[in-house]
Each structure stands twice: as C-alpha cells, then as structure tokens.
A and B are shown apart, each in its own frame.
Chain A
Amino acid sequence: IRDIFSLTFFPLSLQAKMSRPVQARRLEGTDKNIWVEFVKLAVTYSKVNLGQGFPDFPPPDFLKESLEKALSGGNHMLHQYTRAFGHPPLVKILAQFFGKLLGQDLDPMTNVMVTVGAYQALFCCFQAFVDEGDEVIIIEPFFDCYEPMVKMAGGTPVFVPLRPKPPKGSKLMSSADWQLDPAELASKFSERTKAIVLNSPNNPLGKVFSRGELELIADLCVKHDVLCISDEVYEWLVYDGKEHIRIASLPGMWDRTVMVGSAGKTFSATGWKVGWTVGPNRLLQHIRTVHQNSVYHCATVAQEAVAQGFQREFKLYGKPDSYFVQLPKMLQQKRDRLVQSLDAVGMKPIIPEGTYFLVADISQFKSDVPDVPDSDEPYDSRFAKWMVKNKGLAAIPLSAFYSEAHKNNHDHFIRFCFAKEEATLKAADDILQKWKREKSSP
C-alpha cells in the first residue's frame, strides 16, 4: 500500500531526482568557472602549458627534505589532527616573520590563522564580514574567485578598473602603466562599502602597487571605515629592485586589514594548499569562527614542513642564500626570456613588476583568428582556445579576469605563466618562432 501511495501521490519519485529545485540560492551566478574549461583544453591539446599558474619546477630541496624528515621521523602523531587554527610551530614562525616585516609584535594564537591555501583564507574573509547588501570593491583585472566569493556571501561586487596609460615611444608597456584613476576609485566608495580587495602583486597583470597608490587606497579605507582584504600571495615575487609594500603597515590600516598569504606561491608548492591570514584579533576572531564551522583543521604534516621552511628563511632573511632572494632572481630571468620571445614574434608583452604572470597584447595576430561580429565570446578567449588547439600553446584570456559586464573592455590580451623550466620556455619560444615564420612566409 505504501508503494501505491507513493506512485499515485508522488509520481515524481519515479524520476531519479528530487522534485523541487534543490540547490541553494547563494550559488546563483557562481557556477561558471574559467579553469574547468581551460584546464581541460590544456590537458587535451597543449604541448606547452603556460596557462594555469603553477611552477613546473619542483619546490626547493630544503622544503622537500623538511617533509621527508617529518614523515620518516618517529612521530606518527603528525598524521593526526593538530591545532585547528594552525599548527603551533607554523603560527609561531609566521607571527615572528610577519611581525618582523610589519615592525610589531604578533601573537601566534590570535593574529595568525592557517588555511587550506590562500583560496580558503579569502573565502573565510568574505564569509566573516560580507552580508547581503554589502558592497565589496574589486579592482579589475582580478583573480577570478573574488567575484563568486562575494556573491556567495550575498554581497555586491563593485568593480573599478586599472587603466592602461600607453608608454612613450615604442617602449614596451610595464604593469606600472596600468593605474587606478583616483577620482574614479573614490566614487566607488559608498556607505554600503564593506571591504576592498587589494591584490598586490597583482594577478594577472603583475602590477606591484606603489606606496602612493597604496596610500590612496588606505586614505579611502580610513575615510569610509572600510575593511581591506589584502591578497599578497606573490609578495616575494617582485622584480627590478621593486619593493612589495604591505598596506597593513600604513597608518590606520593594521586595524582594518586582513593579509592573505600562500605557502604554495612562497615555496613553489601549490599542491600543498597551505595558506594563512594575518591581522588584528578583532578581525581574525570572526575568520576563526568561519574556519571552525567549515573545514576546522588543515592537514598537519604539510604545516610542519612549511614551518621548517619559514624557520630557515627567517635565519637567512635578506641573505643571498634565502629562497626569497633566489626565487625572484630566477623568475626575473624567465620573465625577461618570455618577454623577448613574445616581443620577437609580434605579441606585445606588458612587463610585469611582480608575480609569475605576464599579459601580452595579441592585436597583431588578428589575421590568424579573425574577429567574429556579434560573438558572445570575447576575442581573447576565442584566440586562446584557437592557439592551444592549433599551436599547442596554452595561455589564459585576460577577459577571464574581468566581470561579465567588462569582459570586452580589454579583449586582446592573454596571460602567460612563466614559472616554468628552461626547457618549457624554450619549447614555447620554438612554437612562437615557427608561428612567426609561418606568418611571414607567403
């Protein structure tokens, strides 16, 4: 009888689905993700992958040794839960390290929290502070996750662009030439503004915000009493003697800034997914609440190894042997190599001041991938797809880093990752040279 009942009155149970819309409204507008598509394309077609941002060289030996030591040592408790807000040796050294950099005493228990990558740190920030109706200012182009995270927290993203100022003469553009318009930025702040997301060094452009630019942002944060979520994952990757300035060190900013960092980027180990937040306790307490109700603990053994990595770097800080000195030196050379390769073939690279990304203008290549009028897809996306399928070279369209409304504002740039072995960059160069020859031969 029960079965008849369910058949008659609940015929929908015959379908292999629940009858009512099942997903929560907070997911609206957050399901699309550029990486799902482009990673698939790279896996399928690419011979040389300069797309997704991860090194194809290994983490430094000392880091691998730290992990090895941790695993081969007798302490099997490293395979069990550690302190939820961060493994004690790791939060201690992070507090020491960033305390030194910021010039203040940091409490490892309350001013530092470890997360599953910087990604989860960002998630905790938005969940902790953004309510429905709150506005969050995002500077374009932006690391794509900021927008869906703000939306998932019920917030409204408010975008403000970096605008390129063309360089004088035929010099190549620098990421420094992309700037905020102060009046435009000021106009984005309202009484609903809860936070601004700052990413310096910036992914995808590689811009390293100058002190003046940071002061501009800081002044507005203080004036409007706004939080600053400062994504500094590429803090060590700065070139040409530039300085990475931490906005939290500017007057009035420590109390309203959460700094986000990443072991993956710091130690070239993106697969370890260890990140952190640093900030005042009155902000971190709420981030801890989100964390304890979402993932709670982070994996122990990776934290142990990262702690040792930082201990080594603390001792070697500023010295030539420091990984934080050697890594940017190594990457600067790779940057210059890729810049040369791209320039030689007619793509116009924007020289990045930091990160391991660079963006290049592909307007000269319109002949290979003609414009399609009325196309829904931005030109650079079509170009990048064509390039990986036909040339085997993977890169990411710059439009991926813009809001829906602004995707076509700069649709003739693509982003390359140059944290790659010499052999990879040489192979990229070969593809580009061959392509150039094909273009110039009749």
Chain B
Amino acid sequence: MLFASRSFCCLGIRTYQLQTDLLCRSIRLSASATMAFRHKNARRIEGLDSNIWVEFTKVAADSSIVNLGQGLPDISPPSYVKEELAKAAAVDRLNQYTRGFGHPSLVKALSQVYERVCGRKIDPLTDILVTVGAYGSLFSTMQALIEEGDEVIIIEPFYDCYEPMVKMVGAKPVFIPLRYKGNGNSASSADWVLDAAELENKFNSKTKAIIVNTPHNPIGKVFTREELQVIADLCIKHDTLCISDEVYEWMVYKGKKHIKIATMPGMWERTITIGSAGKTYSVTGWKLGWCIGPQNLIKHLQVVHQNTLYTCPTPLQEALAQALWVDYKRMDDPDCYFYSLPRELESKRDRMALLLQEAGLNPIVPDGGYFMIVDVSTLDVDLSGIDEKQPYDYKFVKWMIRSKKLSAIPLSAFCGPETKKQFEKYIRFCFIKKDSTLDAAEAILKNWNKQAA
C-alpha cells in the first residue's frame, strides 16, 4: 500500500488527496486485520452465554425424533383463538403501535379475569404490564427490582432462566432444593417438599426476593396453601419480594387447587405475579405474558419495559384480549378453556405415566403443569460411549435421542451447582402432545422394554 502511494508522489499536488485516501484506507484495512476489537462483552453477560435450549431445540427440527423435550404443545390452539388473530390483523390500525404498557383492551380483560380470581380490585393501567412472554415479565422484574448486593432465593429444580437473569442483574442466586419425602412407591409431585428450617436459613438481610413457581416446572408440584404460608411468613418477616411465576396456573389436575400467594395476607404489596398467554392458550409462539402487582412495584417494571422494547405486538394483544373475554364470560362453565385444557391434559398425563411405568420406570406424577420427571438410572443403560464430562442425564438423553429417537430434557439443567448430582438421574418429559405423538412415544417405550428383557 505504501509502495503504491509513493509512486503517486511524482504526479504532483492533485494526487495528494488520492494519496491520503489510499493511506487512510491502508491504515484502516491493516487496522481491521491486526487490531482485534479490544472491547469484549459487558461484564453483566459474562458466563451467561450457554443455554440448554440452544442445544436441545435443534432436536425439534428433526422430524424423525419423537420430541417430548422442549415445552411446546403440538396440539392445536383453540380455533376461536386463531380466528381472533386473523380478525385483528385485518384491522388496519391494529397493525400499528399500541399503548406501551399493554394494549388497552388486553389489560382491561386481564384485570377482569384476575379480579375474579384474586377477589380484589386490579387497575388495568397501573397494576398490569404486558410483556414479551412470561420470560419478559421475569426479566423486567429482575431489572427493575434486583441489583448487585442482593440475594434471590431460587427453589431447585428451577426453570433455567432464573439463574442467569439473577446473575445478569449482578445479584447472587441462593438455592434451596425440593427434597423427596415419599415412601418409594408410586411417586407424586406432592412428595417433593421444602424443608421449612432449611428455607428459613436461606433468608437474611440481603435477601431481596424469592422466586416461587407454582405449578412447578419441571416437577409439576402444586404448592399447597400451607406450603405457601411458610414462604409468605418468611417474606413478611424479612421484608422480601415474592416473584410468583404462575404460567401453568390453569393446568392443575383433579383434587388440586392453584393458590395465588399474592392473595395471602401481607403478600399483595410485595408480590409480582406472572402469567402467560402461551401456556394459557397453547400459543407459545405468541410470546405474550403479563405481570400483575401493586402500582408501586409495577411502575418500576413499566420503566424497564419502556427502555427495553416499549410495546408488544398489537394484533396479538387484541386477539388475546378477545379470547380472554370469551373465557371470562364462561368462567362458571366447565367448557371454559381454563378448565377444559387441564381435563384434556390430565388424560395425557395419566397415559404418559402408564407408558413410563410399563417401560419399567417410576415417574413422578405431577399435580399440575405439563411435564413429568422420571429417574432413568434404574434402567442401567450403558452410556460409556457418550462424552464423559457431562452429567448422567445429559448423556442419557443424548443416547436416547440417538438410539431410541425419543427426546426429553435432562433435569440437571434446572439445578444449581450443588444439586446437580442429586438430580442428574432424572429426565423431563413434556406431555402436551397430540395423540399420534404419544402413540409414537408408546411404540418406542414398549419396544425398549422388550429389548431390555
């Protein structure tokens, strides 16, 4: 490059500009080649780059594999829900921006549904924020209310995003495991409990929040009133926030009741309750969620929202609002989707449990949600061929995908570092699947048993 510029020197002053340009460009080119951008990623995301789903959702693309892994329905959403979206998208002004904190008709519908459920007045404009999935509500809550120096209690196993979100705001996750207290026979998610004394020890003056997920992913536990009272008492005693992830609130099976911790005495003022359209209406791809709470907390989440993505998509919000009205009007009717879906899922749950039992396994039958965990170490499969360094359940799932064409999710993905060993025998199956998918799973599991014999 310098050689070229020197040869132009002789051509006089007119070429000076061209020469300088060439020099500049040569500096730029060599700069880009040799000077690596010295800036790396911001500290807040250090160590947060790996993610179980990036690896395991690739599986979903392979249609030869029976996918009971990632939590997405392959059943159709109800037809009125799909129709409302088509109707909304046909209205011109619904293709443009709506209110940032939530489309007016949607926050109104949400306030009505939840006023009924909670038995208290909920202001649609100040007590509700609509977000991009419940994921967005969790993120907004963390960013708004948690920071460096804070501790956040996370119950294990946990939906995997809680830990990186807590870390991203500079806070410290404090883990406490659910422990199996059953008698070894047919297990239920209700057999997994928190030790009250152990939980009490996790609270201190730095504890900013506890995350409660009920119904629980992955175990399917539906926390009882008594269990929630223990948590509530500690929150009040230590003046702690409660982040209540209730995305599976409607998926509760016979004999169980979903309790909202925010409705317990002393809890409304310190609880953010999170819900999900994706789970409520089997439309995970709509990515709409919401958080409900007292104005003095929600206002900070709204500030985060206005500085992160400002508005959620309009036609989806309008469609969701209309769907909620349909079901709000029939909340006394068993045909309400909030009740018909869990009925449909309960038989799938029972079928899944049976299939796993017939394959010689002992699944934990969930009281809620659409996941089921099972200890697979009893199968004593030879995993020596798989990469040594990964936990048992990761190796098992990879083996199962490869040799059985069936996928699930390893449970150690949902644990903190101390507990991974406890849970690495378990894998998680998702059963919100159409009959043909469960038929295909049945075929694999029946065959499996035969081969093992």
Contacts and interface: CB of A to CB of B under 8 A. Distances in A.
A123 B82 CA distance: 31
A293 B164 contact: yes
Interface string B160-190: 0100110011000000000000000000000
A91 interface: no
B242 to A, nearest CB: 11
A278 interface: no
B342 interface: no
A55 B43 CA distance: 39
Contact of B72 (A81, A283, A286): A81
Interface string A13-35: 10111111011111100110101
Contacts of B285: 77-82, 297, 299-301
A293 B315 CA distance: 25
Interface string A105-140: 000000000001101100100011111000000000
Interface string A190-207: 000010000000000000
Given A24-B169, A131-B43, A271 B133 contact: no
B360 interface: no
Contacts of A77: 74, 285
A297 B45 contact: no
Contact of B85 (A268, A293, A301): A301
Interface size class for chain B? 35 or more
A300 B72 CA distance: 13
A117 B100 CA distance: 13
* Most chain B CB within a 10 A radius of its CB, from A10, A149, A254: A10
Contacts of A302: 313, 316
Nearest to A33: B306
A127 B266 CA distance: 35
Given A71-B89, A81-B285, A251-B29, A128 B165 contact: no
A230 to B, nearest CB: 15
B49 interface: yes
A385 B128 CA distance: 28
Interface of A: 2, 6, 10, 12-13, 15-20, 22-27, 30-31, 33, 35-36, 39, 52, 54-59, 64, 67-68, 71-72, 76-84, 116-117, 119-120, 123, 127-131, 145, 148-149, 152-153, 194, 218-219, 222-223, 225-227, 251-252, 254-256, 268-273, 282-283, 285-286, 288-290, 292-302
Interface string B251-271: 000000000000000101110
A79 B281 CA distance: 10
B92 interface: yes
Nearest to B165: A293
Given A26-B143, A123-B307, A71 B29 contact: no
A19 B57 CA distance: 43
Nearest to B28: A252
Contacts of B164: 293
Contact of A64 (B27, B49, B77, B89): B89
